Amino acid sequence: MSYGLYIGRNHTADGIAYLAGYGDEPSSHWLEIVPRAQHATGSAITVGVTPAADMPGRLSEIPQVAETARHIRVSYSYYLGVPAPLTNGGVNEHGVAVRDIWSTSRDELVAMTPKDQTGPNYSDLARIVLERARTAREGVELIGELIARHGYSDYGGNSHLIADPDEAWVVAECAGGQKLWAAERLGPDSIRASRPGYIGVIPVDQPRHPDFLYAPNLVSFAKAQGWHKDGQAFDLNQIYGDGKGRWAGVQWIEAEMRARAARPEKIALPDIFWAVRTEKLTGDTAGYGQVVPLIHPPHAALRHLWHTPTAALAAPFTPVFLGATEVLPEYRQHRYLTAGESARFVDLRHAEKDRDDVSRVPQGVEATRSAVQAGKRLLYLVQRHSELFLPEIAVLWEAVERRRIAAQPGAVDIAETLLAAGKQDRAAEYLTYYMRTELLAALDLVETMVASLEARTRALFGLSDDPTPKSPPQIW
């Protein structure tokens, strides 16, 4: 289902807008830095869903562009049968950030979705925006053009939050095979949470309104179905969505962030970390945590996001720079929670009979520790006795993150000096070294806390085999 949070720059202490959130899928998650790439004329990419998806369809090809942008993203291995690998969040070299967030369509639209639907799926759209968009608005227009030209393969409705340093857009894509979509602009005074993504009243009587874009048949189709009449407010959530408006969790976190924005100090980066970490919203469903500062640095290599490899309750946020050359093996895809890996082997014994028997994960990577698995262990230890361990772990992560926030300007200054001197390779080496050091330190600390909490759990309570999981109360 996922969670997204946009904070406009007028509400922050540093005058920077932020896009934050997490992916809400149970399968494996991993971090990627994807280089800029050139593609031959006539190249195509495969998009859509297969007949095996929960809402089936057919794969198809759409044209590839001549060049795709460098970007950081988090990918994962399974959701509702949609072909892997899947992507639902990241930032590109142009400063465009994306979060993919579920947004259910009304039952009638889900029912009318063709069984042979074609066109990009929700993950395809997120990835293509990261690869091609230079502004948030361009990302919205790109989604609209792709849907109009190629259709949309859905799983019941979806949305995206697309942001750049100047503005953000909520884009809702509807089920039904009718090429229905709409987008609402968010600006410097906005605070917006999505879970699910929603859009309220659209002023359809003002077709050139600067804060809204939508499919040309958005209103006419609703009228034809008897869901809207002239003179009524055109509420997208009521007409095409679940009709519930802002869910309770959305109302709560938006109110919390507005209260923090009203303070003299406004919203700082630790407040946004808290909004992704709070146990009222974050648990085992959160596959990772992500916070993107929406900035225009002097060099694209200095763009970055803050990342946790599992739910932010169980790991500190660590900076990941676009200019780094590689991701640590510990933070890459492992077999743990990867769909299909339980039936594969990390050798070639059965390769002649069935190539699918061979693991998709490189043996050298699988030989390393898994940051996701370590974080999951810590999460479950914390959740079993959250009244004792949660306050302790939160204080620890906040202390680590304060140190990292304080160290960040120095690291950026060093890299910027190297880039200004034309030493791009040296800057990349330094950013990679800095990122590796911080990511390894985070993993070491997580494993230290696993050992500590496991020892105390054994001594104080024993390791329970109660089949009912425990966790703090959540709003959603």
The packing angle between helices 424-460 and 386-420, to 10°, is 170
Residue range 224-243: average pLDDT? 97
> Residue 394: its pLDDT value, please?
97
Residue range 216-226: average pLDDT? 98
Query: At 444, is the secondary structure helix, strand, or coil?
Result: helix
pLDDT digits (tens, 9 = 90+) for 295-317: 999 999 999 999 999 999 999 99
> Residue 7: its pLDDT value, please?
98
In the numeric block, the tokens 């804060």 are attached to 211
Domain around 142: 1-340+357-476
pLDDT digits (tens, 9 = 90+) for 330-378: 999 999 999 999 999 999 887 777 778 899 999 999 999 999 999 999 9
- In sequence order, the 6+-apart residues with CB closer than 8 A to the CB of 237 are 198, 199, 200, 243, 244, 245
362 lies in some domain: yes
Residue range 262-268: average pLDDT? 98
User: Contact 288/310 with Cβ under 8 angstroms?
Assistant: yes
Using CA atoms, how far apart are residues 28 and 26, in angstroms rounded to an integer? Answer: 7
Using CA atoms, how far apart are residues 192 and 253, in angstroms rounded to an integer? Answer: 9
Task: Burial-class residue 167 by CB neighbours within 10 Å (0-12, 13-18, 19+).
Answer: buried
User: Could you tell me the CA-to-CA distances from 125 to 26, 186, 279 in Å, in that order?
Assistant: 21, 20, 30
Radius of gyration of the chain (CA): 22
pTM: 0.97
> Residue 351: its pLDDT value, please?
76
Who wins on pLDDT, 121 or 354?
121
> Residue 50: its pLDDT value, please?
97
- Could you write out the DSSP letters of every residue in 196-256? S----EE-TT-TT-TTEEE-TTHHHHHHHTTS--TTS-EEHHHHHS-S--S-HHHHHHHHH
User: Could you tell me the CA-to-CA distances from 354 to 94, 265, 351, 362 in Å, in that order?
Assistant: 42, 61, 5, 18
106 lies in some domain: yes
What is the pLDDT confidence band of residue 93, given thresholds at 50, 70 and 90?
Answer: very high
> Residue 270: its pLDDT value, please?
98
61 lies in some domain: yes
Using CA atoms, how far apart are residues 240 and 223, in angstroms rounded to an integer? Answer: 12
Using CA atoms, how far apart are residues 319 and 147, in angstroms rounded to an integer? Answer: 34
Backbone φ, ψ for residue 412 (5° rounding): -65, -40
What is the pLDDT confidence band of residue 1, given thresholds at 50, 70 and 90?
Answer: confident
Residue range 436-451: average pLDDT? 98
348 lies in some domain: no
Task: Burial-class residue 323 by CB neighbours within 10 Å (0-12, 13-18, 19+).
Answer: buried
User: Contact 278/25 with Cβ under 8 angstroms?
Assistant: no
pLDDT digits (tens, 9 = 90+) for 38-55: 999 999 999 999 999 999
10 lies in some domain: yes
pLDDT at 32 over 90: yes
Domain tally, the chain: 1
What is the pLDDT confidence band of residue 411, given thresholds at 50, 70 and 90?
Answer: very high
Residue range 438-444: average pLDDT? 98
The packing angle between helices 371-384 and 424-460, to 10°, is 30
346 lies in some domain: no
- Structure-token pair, residue 67: 């060049």
Using CA atoms, how far apart are residues 248 and 306, in angstroms rounded to an integer? Answer: 27
347 lies in some domain: no
Residue range 266-279: average pLDDT? 98
What is the pLDDT confidence band of residue 423, given thresholds at 50, 70 and 90?
Answer: very high
pLDDT at 284 over 80: yes
> Residue 350: its pLDDT value, please?
74
H/E segment holding residue 305? strand 304-308
- In sequence order, the 6+-apart residues with CB closer than 8 A to the CB of 122 are 82, 88, 100, 154, 155, 158, 160, 173
pLDDT at 281 over 90: yes
Using CA atoms, how far apart are residues 180 and 434, in angstroms rounded to an integer? Answer: 45
Virtual torsion, Cα 121, 317, 133, 3, nearest 10 deg: 40
CATH number assigned to the domain comprising residue 256: 3.60.60.10
246 lies in some domain: yes
